[in-house]
Amino acid sequence: MNDNNLKFNNKLPLKACMLAYTFYETDGRVMRYAETLVQEGCIVEAIVLRRDMQPEEELVNGVKVLRIQRRVKNESRKFSYLARILKFFFHSMMEITRRHLKEPYDIIHVHSVPDFEVFAAFVPKLLGAKVILDIHDIVPEFYSAKFKVGQDSLVFLVLKFVEKLSAAFADHVIIANDLWLEKITARSVPKDKCSSFINYPDLSIFNSDLNTGKTHSQFIMIYPGTLNWHQGLDIAINAFAIAKEKAPNIELHIYGEGSAKSELQKQIVDLQLSDKVFLRSPLPLRNIAVVMANADLGIVPKRNDSFGGDAFSTKILEFMALGLPVVVAGTRVDQYYFNETLLRFFKAGDVNDLARVMLDAYFNRELNNQLASRALTFAYQHSWDTKKYDYLNLINQLTQRSKKVLYANR
């Protein structure tokens, strides 16, 4: 450890578990926490999902990744989605209990969705482990947007009740942005039990050094991430169909998986865009960072609905950290954190306005460079490298360890 590291002095090493219904290698938020703790000398395990052909157990940058359940992101019905989540809940409860009884965890960091996954840590908490609930997406609004369920419905009210119970069970609750922090503390959690951690970019993965110089003649726009309705990829494809008439060498590259994938594939074929719009499988985080760095424009076309409008997209700061100009829907959360000196906004949900902004980015390369330069500075000021100490101090407070954080050269 160097002088910048947080010292755990009483009981070395601290043992932590990341518990998440996610694919570890593509979830930057889970990876950041896990690898940060490893760098501080902790033992870290991650209990997560598995794709086909992946090993059930693997050491990834010092983190023991335990893939306990296979998942294909193709749920289009409520009950199939819930069934897979419940299956993971019971599998993960058995796995984490077994491992805790064998060698106890000090801290268990549970990542939502779903909120009730936090109860998988019931036995370890009963035996002394501290539990963090990290709400990546607020579940009632997420469910409402994904399955078109009204916020006055019984299921929405039940999900809010589950949110409140889950937060009460946890020792601390982390929320993924400040707008959601306001909403959660108004309905479910005391303010003194919460922290807000947005998806800060990890500069060891996302940095401008990956931009090795474009070797392609096309102007490549890129979106990496989940293919859900609220992400607005159908809007981006329709806008692209308009823009390509004035910019024939543009391409749109989409990397991801999700419930909207088949509809997007059909849309691409129907619009005769198969030679211009490419829908590809997701890549591990470090691989997709290289692909993103060598594109020309990042696209974040979210809808401004009750969920997407307040869901902070990690892709924006990652694009910025790579030195890439970005086009973003003018949602509530993005206008809260960013302004037009850093990126181009378009009117959320407006196909024609997005096409206009795409063309502006294509023809006005000088402005692209200016925006990217300012955004790069902004991203470095708001990176995980500068924010991780807040997380490490939280871990110290929860585990009540002797601690000393040295901020050298600051």
Within 21-80, strands assigned E span 43-50, 57-60, 63-70
Is residue 283 located within the same domain as residue 362? yes
Of 178, 224, 18, 25, the C-alpha closest to 112 is 18
Is residue 120 located within the same domain as residue 149? yes
What pLDDT band is residue 402 in, cutting at 50, 70 and 90? very low
Amino acid at 228: N
| CB neighbour burial string for 366-380, b if at least 16 within 10 angstroms, e if fewer | eebeebbeebbebbb
Helices in 322-364 by DSSP H: which ranges? Answer: 332-337, 351-363
115-128 pLDDT, tens digit per residue, is 999 999 999 999 99
CA 321, CA 137: separation in Å to the nearest integer?
A: 23
Neighbours of 11 (CB within 10 A): 11
Q: β-strand 297-300 against 277-280: which pairing, if any?
A: unpaired
DSSP 11-37: SSSPEEEEEESS-GGG-HHHHHHHHHH
Q: β-strand 63-70 against 57-60: which pairing, if any?
A: antiparallel
Is residue 50 located within the same domain as residue 169? yes
Is residue 393 located within the same domain as residue 301? no
DSSP helix/strand/coil, 178: helix
Strand-pair partners of 255 = 224, 280
Helices in 329-410 by DSSP H: which ranges? Answer: 332-337, 351-363, 365-381, 384-399
Phi, psi of 140 (to 5 degrees): -60, -45
Q: Residue 407: inside a domain, yes or no? A: no
SS3 content of the chain, % helix, strand, coil (to 5): 45, 20, 35
Is residue 323 located within the same domain as residue 224? yes
Return the CATH number at 59.
Answer: 3.40.50.2000
Q: Residue 408: inside a domain, yes or no? A: no
What pLDDT band is residue 228 in, cutting at 50, 70 and 90? confident
240-293 pLDDT, tens digit per residue, is 999 999 998 999 999 999 889 999 999 999 999 999 999 999 999 999 999 999
Is residue 359 located within the same domain as residue 226? yes
46-58 pLDDT, tens digit per residue, is 999 999 889 999 9
Of 58, 36, 54, the C-alpha closest to 46 is 58
Helices in 229-279 by DSSP H: which ranges? Answer: 233-243, 261-270
pLDDT of 76 over the 80 cut: no
CA 299, CA 233: separation in Å to the nearest integer?
A: 9
Domain interval for residue 109: 15-200+383-399
Helices in 271-350 by DSSP H: which ranges? Answer: 285-293, 314-321, 332-337
Is residue 351 located within the same domain as residue 241? yes
> How buried is 1 (Cβ within 10 angstroms: 0-12 exposed, 13-18 middle, 19+ buried)?
exposed
Q: Residue 250: inside a domain, yes or no? A: yes
Q: What is the mean pLDDT of the chain?
A: 90
What pLDDT band is residue 77 in, cutting at 50, 70 and 90? low
Q: H or E stretch including 156?
A: helix 154-169
pLDDT of 205 over the 50 cut: yes
Q: Residue 112: inside a domain, yes or no? A: yes
Q: How far is CA 360 from CA 72, 247, 371, in A?
A: 37, 10, 13
Is residue 255 located within the same domain as residue 325? yes
Q: Residue 295: inside a domain, yes or no? A: yes
What's the pLDDT score for residue 186?
93
What mean pLDDT comes out for the span 343-355? 97
Eight-state DSSP code of residue 304: -
Contact by Cβ (8 Å): 170, 118: yes
Is residue 250 located within the same domain as residue 193? no
Q: Residue 394: inside a domain, yes or no? A: yes
Packing angle, helices 314-321 and 28-39, rounded to 10:
60
Q: Residue 405: inside a domain, yes or no? A: no
Eight-state DSSP code of residue 226: -
CA 223, CA 292: separation in Å to the nearest integer?
A: 8
What's the pLDDT score for residue 74?
53
Structure tokens that stand for 386 in this block: 């500068």
**Total count of domains within the chain:** 2
Is residue 72 located within the same domain as residue 181? yes
Contact by Cβ (8 Å): 333, 177: yes
Is residue 183 located within the same domain as residue 70? yes
What's the pLDDT score for residue 63?
97
Residue with the bigger pLDDT between 311 and 239: it is 239
> For 33, what's the count of Cα atoms within 13 Å in the CB-facing half-sphere?
28
| CB neighbour burial string for 248-281, b if at least 16 within 10 angstroms, e if fewer | eebbbbbbbbbbbbeebeebbeeeebeebbebee
Is residue 299 located within the same domain as residue 376? yes
